[in-house]
């Protein structure tokens, strides 16, 4: 099964961006961690990042009939994007939302995510480990619902 691992705005700057919050590892390092975790689970991954809200929505739409599930870190759009939530509802696939940081220990505006309303589960605060756990969870969901 193919799993889309979609990353939103500013995650291209991982390693440079607020390293005290997001760590010193890069987006390429994150992709490598995901590829390594996916392989023994029998999952193929399509790992992507965009700064564009519209592009993220188009990618979600394109998952229909193509991917078995979606892991998404919507970054800043988590807290603003009704349109991205609508796309995730429309595509009708299992969705797991991941945040590297613990959004609940941060500013109040980060405590609400529109995307959570379209997600089976949400993982936050565990850094790259959150993506590995999300892959594990989606493998279980895909297997159980096959």
Q: Which residues bind ligand DQA (CB under 6 A)?
A: 10, 73, 75-76, 78, 99-101, 103, 110
Nearer to ligand DQA, 99 or 132 (CB): 99
Say if residue 126 carries a ligand binding annotation. no
Task: In angstroms, give the least distance from the CB of 21 to ligand DQA.
Answer: 7
Catalytic residues: 22, 99
CB 8 within 8 A of CB 56: yes
Tally Cβ neighbours within 10 Å of residue 129: 14
Nearer to ligand DQA, 100 or 142 (CB): 100
Nearer to ligand DQA, 113 or 141 (CB): 113
Task: In angstroms, give the least distance from the CB of 40 to ligand DQA.
Answer: 25
CA angle 53, 58, 59 (to 5 degrees): 100
Say if residue 86 carries a ligand binding annotation. yes
Task: In angstroms, give the least distance from the CB of 39 to ligand DQA.
Answer: 23
Say if residue 101 carries a ligand binding annotation. yes
Say if residue 28 carries a ligand binding annotation. no
Task: Provide the annotated binding site for substrate.
Answer: 73, 79, 86, 100-101, 110
Per the annotation, binding residues are 73, 79, 86, 100-101, 110
């Amino acid at each position: 099964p193919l799993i889309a691992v979609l990353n939103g705005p500013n995650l291209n700057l991982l390693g440079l961006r607020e390293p005290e919050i997001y760590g010193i590892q890069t987006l390429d390092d994150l992709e490598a961690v995901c590829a390594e975790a996916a392989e023994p689970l029998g999952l193929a991954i399509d790992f992507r990042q965009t700064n564009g809200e519209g592009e993220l929505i188009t990618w979600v739409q394109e998952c229909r009939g193509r991917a078995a599930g979606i892991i998404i870190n919507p970054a800043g759009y988590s807290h603003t994007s009704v349109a991205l939530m609508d796309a995730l509802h429309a595509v009708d696939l299992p969705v797991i939302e991941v945040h590297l940081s613990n959004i609940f220990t941060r500013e109040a505006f980060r405590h609400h995510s529109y995307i959570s309303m379209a997600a089976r589960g949400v993982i936050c605060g565990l850094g790259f480990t959150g993506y590995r756990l999300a892959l594990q969870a989606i493998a279980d969901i895909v297997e159980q619902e096959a």
